[in-house]
Structure 1
Amino acid sequence: MNWFTQSFANTRQKGEFYELEAEHYLVEQGLTPVERNFWCKLGEIDLIMRDQQTWVFVEVKYRKGQQYGGANAAFTKQKQQRLHRAISVYIQQHQLQNSPLRVDFMAINGQNPYQFNWFKNVL
């Protein structure tokens, strides 16, 4: 498939594609996937992974261009708050209150090849 002509039926499909790309990248870095697209009324978690014993909650953003700061600038304060609330729900539902955890941000910029920027411990 020619990735330059990749088209998506909707933004949800596009988001899922780049979340999967991020997951593949993180697996190559040694993380283990647990769950994708956890949703609750308070927000959504794109990827939930494990880094050995640490639970890792990952927000993924993609931008084709660098205008407006690219994907790096897309992790707004509002998005951080919604993510934090969703993580709190997940922790309660899965009884992870005493487990080590961290929140990471994966910014994907450009087109084939993609530039992956992985920021650890962002919250």
Structure 2
Amino acid sequence: MATASPTRAGQAAETQALEHLQGQGLQLLARNWRCKGGELDLVMLDADTVVFVEVRYRLHAGFGGALGSIDRRKQNRVVLAARVFLHQQPRWGDHPCRFDVVALQGSQHAGRPLQWLKNAFEC
């Protein structure tokens, strides 16, 4: 059996994250939202809070694994994209915001345990 490409594995991880968050009551506002400065994997609404969710998937734990891949540079790109999103979608501009990370590690066949870190970083 052929292994999935990294892109397909990342998309599957994102779908798993989305389904988990929706199961926790969050509503999807945008998926794979792009702007010149970056991309937002998921933009969700948790009650009245706009949640910018970075989904990270790694097959192996080397080099810090999925959680370790959220360095300061990546955080800054997500924050920049979030600012552009709020500017272009002014209806959400007065809502509180937070930055979450959903980290998945391991193969699909292992069930990919999921870690959801609320308020993973601040701008």
User: What TM-score comes out, normalization by structure 1 length?
Assistant: 0.88
Cα shift at 1:54: 1.0
Cα shift at 1:81: 0.5
Partner of 1:73: 68
Partner of 1:102: 98
Partner of 1:32: 27
> CA–CA distance in 2 between the matches of 1:109 and 1:5?
19
Query: Do residues 113 (structure 1) and 111 (structure 2) align?
Result: yes
> CA–CA distance in 1 between the matches of 2:98 and 2:65?
24
Number of residues paired by the alignment?
118
**Amino acid across the alignment from 2:116:** W
Q: Which runs of 4+ in 1 moved over 6 A?
A: none
> CA–CA distance in 2 between the matches of 1:109 and 1:83?
21
**Amino acid across the alignment from 1:103:** F
Cα shift at 1:14: 3.0
> CA–CA distance in 1 between the matches of 2:94 and 2:61?
39
**Amino acid across the alignment from 1:108:** L
Q: How much is the aligned-residue C-alpha RMSD, in angstroms?
A: 1.6
Cα shift at 1:108: 0.6
Structure 1: gaps (5+ residues): none
> CA–CA distance in 1 between the matches of 2:13 and 2:26?
17
> CA–CA distance in 2 between the matches of 1:70 and 1:12?
17
User: What TM-score comes out, normalization by structure 2 length?
Assistant: 0.88
